């Protein structure tokens, strides 16, 4: 079968999933496949976040029954609101309940930044600039110092329309404005970033962690896939 090495489950916060599956399969080695359930986010309202959390728990259980090797719960806002103060403990409890490893995107990104040795992190995100403060707060929650944030100014329904050159263009801008940054975080797993990782690392002499890349890396490593994957940054190439 296609997923003879690993079958990765992912609960996708945006109700419309376009970019995540595409970039997953750009990075995935042969024999690794994706199971995906879309959730309810279109505006990030409290009602949508609450509904999405319940949907993600149900999806993880169904993915386990369907044979997933691991299930990843996407969405930092969803998991931080409902997962409790210790998301690692939340993962462990849910894994025991579900019967397969259950991960969260937040813990995946925190571990990725730790391995990359990141301290000062500049963020580029695809959403409206009104979310800049939230992304700065998330960098602190991920254990690093925020070092500048810039927005692409798209909403959930426009994520598939973000031009491919935005990631590199805004990474150049944020690094120029914040030369002390040692890492560029391309936040959100649902816009075009995978193609730009290597060029940003080489050109700007920084590490790059994208939400998509960190989720993918954490999931396949947890599933026992140790392949070092070139072309998508230090995280997949070295760890």
CATH code of the domain containing 45 = 3.40.50.12500
In the DSSP assignment, the letter for residue 230 is T
pLDDT digits (tens, 9 = 90+) for 108-126: 999 999 999 999 999 999 9
CA 174, 168, 138, 182 dihedral sign is: negative
Q: What are the φ and ψ backbone dihedral angles of 146, each rounded to 5 degrees?
A: -65, 135
Same domain, 133 and 199: yes
Note whether residue 220 is domain-resident.
yes
Say if residue 97 is in the same domain as residue 11: yes
Confirm whether 186 is domain-assigned: yes
Phi/psi for 193 (5° steps) reads -135, -30
Domain that holds residue 166: 109-210
Query: Mean pLDDT for the chain?
Result: 95
Is residue 21 domain-shared with residue 57, that is, in the same domain? yes
CB neighbours of residue 3 within 10 Å: 17
User: Lowest-pLDDT range, 11-25, 33-47, 120-134, 217-231?
Assistant: 33-47
How many C-beta neighbours within 10 Å does residue 227 have? 14
- Residue 161: pLDDT band with limits 50, 70, 90: very high
Domain count, the chain: 2
Question: Which range, of 74-78, 222-226, 232-236, averages the lowest pLDDT?
Answer: 74-78
Q: Which pLDDT does position 188 carry in this prediction?
A: 96
* Cβ atoms 211, 111 nearer than 8 A: no
192 with 203, same domain: the answer is: yes
pLDDT, tens digit, for every residue of 49-76? Answer: 889 899 999 999 999 999 999 999 998 8
Indicate if 148 and 74 belong to the same structural domain.
no
**Which uninterrupted H or E stretch holds 38?**
strand 32-41
Specify the pLDDT at position 77. Answer: 80
Query: What is the reported pLDDT for 147?
Result: 96
For 49, 108, 112, the CA distances from 125, given in Å and listed in that order, are 19, 17, 18
135/96 same-domain check: no
Q: Which SS3 state, helix, strand or coil, does residue 76 take?
A: helix
Average pLDDT over residues 178-207: 98
For the segment 6-23, the average pLDDT, to the nearest whole number, is 95
Q: 0.85 exceeded by the pTM?
A: yes
134 pLDDT exceeds 80?
Answer: yes
In a domain, 39, yes or no: yes
Task: Using only the alpha carbons of the chain, give its radius of gyration.
Answer: 16
Residues 200 and 219 in one domain: no
Beta strands in 51-210 (DSSP E): 70-73, 102-104, 120-125, 145-151, 183-186, 207-210
Query: Is 1 a domain residue?
Result: no
Task: Specify if 236 maps to a domain.
Answer: no
Residue 138 vs residues 11, 22, 74, 76, 185: alpha-carbon distances, Å: 20, 26, 14, 8, 11
To the nearest 10 degrees (0 to 180), the angle between helices 87-98 and 105-116 is 130
Same domain, 58 and 137: no
């Amino acid at each position: 079968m296609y997923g003879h090495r690993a079958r990765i489950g992912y609960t996708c916060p945006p109700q419309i999933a376009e970019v995540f599956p595409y970039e997953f399969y750009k990075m995935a080695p042969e024999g690794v496949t994706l199971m995906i359930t879309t959730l309810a986010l279109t505006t990030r309202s409290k009602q949508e976040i609450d509904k999405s959390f319940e949907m993600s728990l149900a999806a993880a259980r169904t993915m386990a029954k369907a044979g997933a090797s691991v299930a990843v719960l996407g969405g930092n806002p969803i998991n931080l609101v409902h997962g409790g103060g210790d998301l690692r403990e939340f993962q462990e409890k849910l894994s025991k309940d579900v019967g397969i490893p259950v991960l969260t995107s937040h813990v995946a990104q925190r571990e990725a930044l730790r391995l990359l040795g990141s301290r000062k992190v500049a963020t580029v995100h695809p959403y409206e600039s009104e979310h800049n403060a939230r992304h700065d707060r998330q960098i602190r929650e991920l254990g690093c110092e925020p070092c500048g944030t810039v927005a692409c100014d798209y909403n959930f329904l426009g994520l598939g329309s973000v031009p491919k050159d935005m990631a590199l263009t805004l990474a150049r801008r944020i690094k120029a404005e914040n030369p002390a940054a040692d890492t560029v975080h391309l936040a959100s797993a649902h816009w075009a970033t995978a193609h730009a990782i290597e060029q940003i690392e080489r050109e700007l002499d920084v590490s790059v962690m994208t939400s998509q890349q960190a989720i993918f890396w954490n999931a396949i490593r947890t599933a026992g896939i140790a392949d070092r994957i070139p072309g998508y940054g230090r995280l997949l190439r070295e760890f």
